[in-house]
Amino acid sequence: MTDQKVAIVTGSSSGIGYETALLLARNGFRTYATMRNLEKAKAISDVAKRENIPLHIIKLDVTDEKSVNDAIKTIKSDAGRIDVLVNNAGYGLTGSLEDLSMSEIKAQYETNVFGLIRVTQAVLPIMREQKSGIIVNISSIGGKMAMPLSSPYIGTKFAVEGLSESIAYDLEPFGIKVVIIEPGAIKTNFDTGMIIAQKSQNPSSPYYKGMQKLQSSLNSMLKNGTPPAKVAEVILNAITTPNPNLRYTVGEDAALLAQKRKELSDSEFQKLVFEFFK
């Protein structure tokens, strides 16, 4: 049992999860940096050793029930409590709905939505018993507005928004808070991890041209994106403030888009998106 606050981050091998796990550990959280592939642990482990910060690496694949339950059990018996859960693991899937296979779509939901639910369900009994805790769900600005040829990814992030907002009501009586993070384009491995529907990569697809344009826009957005350390800062701020907001956008692009989405009608906003991706 530890007096330190205990945090878990999923998908800590790179990007937002990597930076968040390090920042929380640097700020005194006993941090469990979880990842599905321990072969990718060296970079974060080297930094943690060099800085002598309380960071522990544990294997956790959000799509595997046993892996999730084993990891949470290990953390509970090691630390005795869980104060913060950052549900970060996720990836992007692009392609037209017509081109996407059901298995590509199901895999996307399995990680981005069911994975998040699986880890949350494993952690909740512990937080509820403690009568405290905070769950930080990494959504996206794409959880508030759509873009073309990304319907499964957008669908998963809209799902994360809705379920997070709903469980915030369920958990309030037990002293558990929920925070939704909505990043814009962030410079991580998100682009290399992104999956493009098999059929949409074939020049015979009626959506091929649109896909080429989308991928080049996405690549340049991500290349010029906000550093992931900025997302980590917003998360640290949210979990250390007494009364966090339900939602935080991260990045100037996300803030501007959120503002436009509020100000404009649906058709005005759609026009803007059409123009952008033309």
Residues with a known catalytic role = 153
Is the Cβ of residue 17 or residue 95 nearer to ligand NAP in the bound state?
Answer: 17
Provide the phi-psi class of 149: left if phi over 0, else alpha when psi is between -120 and 50, else beta. left
Q: What is the dihedral of CA 41, 137, 250, 13, to 10 degrees?
A: 10
Is the Cβ of residue 37 or residue 52 nearer to ligand NAP in the bound state?
Answer: 37
Q: Is residue 150 close enough to count as binding ligand NAP by CB under 6 A?
A: no
CB of 189 to ligand NAP, least distance (A): 3
> In which residue are the tokens 């399995």 written?
110
Binders of ligand NAP in range 105-124 (CB under 6 A): 111, 115
CB of 231 to ligand NAP, least distance (A): 8
Q: Is residue 15 close enough to count as binding ligand NAP by CB under 6 A?
A: yes
Shortest-Cβ-distance residue relative to ligand NAP: 15
Q: What is the dihedral of CA 218, 219, 220, 222, to 10 degrees?
A: 80
Helices marked H in the chain: 15-26, 42-51, 65-79, 102-109, 116-130, 151-171, 190-193, 208-223, 228-240, 252-263, 266-276
| Cβ 121 vs Cβ 66: under 8 Å | no
Candidate segments 34-42, 49-57, 93-101, 262-270, binder of ligand NAP by CB under 6 A: 34-42
Q: Give dist(CA 10, CA 17) in Å, integer.
A: 7
Q: Is residue 135 close enough to count as binding ligand NAP by CB under 6 A?
A: no
Question: Could you list the residues that contact ligand NAP (CB under 6 A)?
Answer: 10-11, 13-17, 35-37, 40, 61-63, 88-91, 111, 115, 138, 140, 183, 185-186, 188-190, 193, 222, 225, 228
